[in-house]
Amino acid sequence: TGVLKNYTQDFKSISAKIFKVKGNKAAVGINDRNANYHDVYILDISTGALTKIYENDRFSRFTFNDDLQIVLQDEIHDDGSID
């Protein structure tokens, strides 16, 4: 629509990231619970509803399929290696 909208205005002192968008839904990460990791939510862009689908205390990156389901999680270790 070209209109900028803040879907995280109810969260305080957070970082948010967009993982993947499909149609009127988006997989997003919000670190409101743990500043070091982003929990994964599905955002319904048409209503603004956020639904948490994964509470994350371990992974730094996620890959999603076309149905916005998590298919791969990457963990970065202290030595810089990734699993």
Q: What is the CA radius of gyration of the chain?
A: 13
Residues 52-78: pLDDT tens digits? 999 999 998 899 999 999 998 888 778
Beta carbons within 10 angstroms of residue 19's beta carbon: 17
**Type of residue at 81:** S
pLDDT tens per residue, range 5-55 = 899 989 899 999 999 999 999 999 999 999 999 999 999 999 999 999 999
**pLDDT of 80:** 77
How open is the CA angle 58-17-80, to the nearest 5 degrees? Answer: 40
Side chain identity at residue 20, one-letter code: K
How far is 69 from 32, CA to CA, in rounded Å?
21
pTM, to two decimals: 0.87
